[in-house]
Amino acid sequence: MVVKLIFIVLFFAAMVLVGFMSRRRALNVDGFVLAGRAVGPWLTAFSFGTSYFSAVVFIGYAGRFGWNFGLASTWIGLGNALIGSLLAWVVLGRRTRIMTQHLGSKTMPDFFGLRYLSKPLKVVAALIVFIFLIPYTASLFNGLSQLFSASFPSISYAWWVVIMAVLTCIYVVVGGYMGSAINNFIQGIIMLVGIIAVVGAVLSTNGGLTEAVAKLSQESAQTAAGTEFRGAFASFFGPQPVQLLGVVILTSLGTWGLPQMVGKFYAIKDENAIHKGTLISTFFAVVVAGGCYFLGGFGRLYADKIAMNGTSPASFDTIIPTILSALNTDLGSGGDFLIALVLVLVLAASMSTLSSLVLTSATTITLDLIGQFRKNLDEKKKMLLIRLLIVLSVVLASAIAILLVVNKELAGRLYISDLMGISWGALAGCFLAPFLYGLFWKRTTRASVWACFVSGLVITLSEFFITAVGKYQFANPVLRYFFNSAINAGMLAMLFGLVLVPVVSLFTRKTEPQGVEEMFSCYNRTVTVSLKGSLEEHAPTQETGNAPESAQPKD
């Protein structure tokens, strides 16, 4: 107990100290929200990664999908690294930074309003952000409940929610984006070390990688025909490859449409920072996400210790905490140090994502909703509103998290992964396609954005009320696949939007052509760079052998 408390107190003290040290960079709205668009590659990359991976992934997703898919769940982590990190930076990073600065946009709803010349779009997008970030924020707190209840049985989980909420509010309210970014970097280091340590401990206590995989291969899986076969959970694509694909798409492609993720590109410093950040972010995702899902893949080796309901866990959210509890016993005195590290890991993962979510939510409501109707707000009033709304967002999310712990029936129907699926499905389903096409395609119309907003909300909410609330099961296998899982519904919303936006754009009136041409002119501006920054422009061509006059040899 003493070791755990020392680790946690030191962690909390460091977070608050960084917040106060960063307050000089948060003196106005631009500094508070974007840190003056001067954040370097390491801070941006770690902010992106720690906002991406939280206790939701470590506790909820790793446990649930590791159990369902076995070692094949590692594909989810690799998909997160390659699609959700590498491709997101390559495709969106540079264009987002250039276009949003050219438009003067500070948030994603603000981008929609300026890019498509529509104030109503901006207002509705702001409401969607505020509403659907709340369940995601609640899932972060919920991800801590099982682990902290097991580690500190004498302390109510509600107190941990309150403590984490208060301390997160302090360093975000005081330090703004820069305070969050520096803390995210520290939290990211803790996550890297913690994941590597836990995976190593699981393998060593199970006889090494080869022996652990051999044990897992003895687990039997049911086929569609009802027969059992061994080796499914140690196989390349696992027992349910189609369902696995849905999870990979939602958790990887979904980041392209999440305001708290895309917002990291708004604040990045320069071209060099984008190149470095791409590599750093991808490496971080491979280790953290790959490690989480790889760890979850061995969950069935601890089936005798997991509370079961038939052939499935009583709650998927208890799988990872059970593994950690078993490690604590198996490792003896060394287990105390490992569990203390994991507790700080989960806190770091949760608080980093939490800070990003509440900052995004509060900024969006202040600048894009309230600011739309109160034009006379000065910098001081905007700053005050943002800070008050940060506190309000944390309070609402904390209340939902505590309600889920108290209301066992509701918690039994809404796993951590379901809460995240609802949030990601709605946000990415509404925003991914309009944002992506808006950066690259001049022909994207205002009507297509409205159509995507409606389709994203209808698909996501239909699944929620049909499955979570109504408990209805479709007879049709296709409908059952998409509408009996928040994750699959989110995937459908995103993919449908990517088709819907170009189709609707081809049949609706263009946004004002002259305005759009001016917007896209930012990509064609001529800038002067040093020779080392662009060798190709100055190098002699092989065909002519000509070189600039200044480079010609002199007699």
In-domain check, residue 157: yes
Q: From the DSSP assignment, how many helices (H) and strands (E) are in the chain?
A: 25, 4
Give the residue among 481, 307, 281, 349 at the shortest CA–CA distance from 62: 349
DSSP for 372-413 reads: HH-TT--HHHHHHHHHHHHHHHHHHHHHHHHHHHH-HHHHHH
The pLDDT of residue 144? 65
367: in domain: yes
Backbone Cα Rg of the chain? 24
Q: Which residue(s) pair with 268 in the sheet?
A: 39
205's enclosing H/E stretch is helix 157-205
Whether 92 and 265 have beta carbons less than 8 Å apart is answered as yes
Helix orientation angle between 94-103 and 416-440, rounded to the nearest 10 degrees: 70
Terminal-to-terminal C-alpha distance of the chain: 81
Cβ-based burial of 74 (10 A; exposed 0-12, middle 13-18, buried ≥19): buried
Q: What are the residues whose beta carbons fall under 8 Å from the beta carbon of 433, sequence distance 6 or more?
A: 257, 452, 494, 497, 498, 500, 501
39 DSSP 8-state letter:
B
Beta bridge partners of 186: none
Cα gap 351→54, rounded to integer Å: 8
Residue pair 111/438 in contact (Cβ under 8 Å)? The answer is yes
Q: What share of the chain is helix, strand, coil (3-state, %, to 5)?
A: 80, 0, 20
**pLDDT value of position 268:** 84
Structure confidence at residue 528 (pLDDT) = 67
| DSSP secondary structure of 50-99 | HHHS-HIIIIIIHHHHHHHHGGGGHHHHHHIIIIIIIIHIIIIIHHHHHH
Residue 304 neighbours by CB distance under 10 Å: 8
| Residue 182 maps to a domain | yes
Asked whether residue 361 is assigned to any structural domain, the reply reads yes
The residues pairing with 220 across neighbouring beta strands, listed in sequence order, are 230
Q: Please give the backbone phi and psi of residue 229, each rounded to the nearest 5 degrees, phi first.
A: -145, 150
* Nearest one of 534, 537, 39, 529 to 268, comparing CA atoms: 39
| CA gap 321, 317 in Å, rounded | 8
For residue 257, give the nearest of 426, 482, 58 by alpha carbon: 426
Strand partners, 308: 313
Do the domain assignments include residue 111?
yes
Residue position matching structure tokens 């600048």? 367
Question: Which residue in 528, 132, 140, 509 sits closest to 317, CA to CA?
Answer: 140
pLDDT at position 282 is 95
Q: Are 92 and 256 in contact (CB under 8 A)?
A: yes
Written as six digits, the tokens of 522 are 């930012």
Q: What is the CATH number of the domain that holds 352?
A: 1.20.1730.10
Distance CA 192, CA 117 (A): 43
Answer yes or no: is 271 within a domain: yes
532 within a domain of the structure (yes/no): no
Distance between CA atoms of residues 139 and 133, nearest Å? 10
Q: Are 57 and 350 in contact (CB under 8 A)?
A: no
| Token duo for residue 367 | 């600048």
Cα gap 482→466, rounded to integer Å: 11
Classify strands 228-230 and 312-313 as parallel, antiparallel or unpaired.
unpaired
Per-residue confidence of the chain (555 residues) as pLDDT tens digits? 777 788 888 888 888 888 888 877 777 888 887 777 778 888 888 888 888 887 778 888 888 899 989 999 999 999 999 999 999 999 999 999 999 989 988 889 999 999 999 999 999 999 999 888 877 777 777 666 656 766 777 777 778 778 878 887 888 888 888 888 888 888 889 889 989 999 999 999 999 999 999 999 888 776 655 667 678 888 888 888 888 988 898 889 989 999 988 988 888 887 788 889 999 999 999 999 999 999 999 999 998 888 887 778 877 878 888 888 888 777 766 667 888 888 888 878 777 777 888 888 888 888 888 877 777 778 888 888 888 988 888 888 778 777 766 665 555 455 666 777 788 889 999 999 999 999 999 999 999 999 999 999 999 988 888 876 667 777 777 788 788 778 888 889 999 999 999 999 999 987 777 788 888 988 887 766 665 544 444 444 444 444 444 444 443
Dist. CA 288–CA 295, nearest whole Å: 10
How many domains does one find in the chain? 1
The one-letter amino acid at 318: T
Residue 175 has a pLDDT of 82
- State the pLDDT at residue 328: 78
Query: Strand, coil or helix: what is 349?
Result: helix
Domain boundaries, position 247: 2-223+240-303+310-522
The reported pLDDT for the residue numbered 440 is: 94
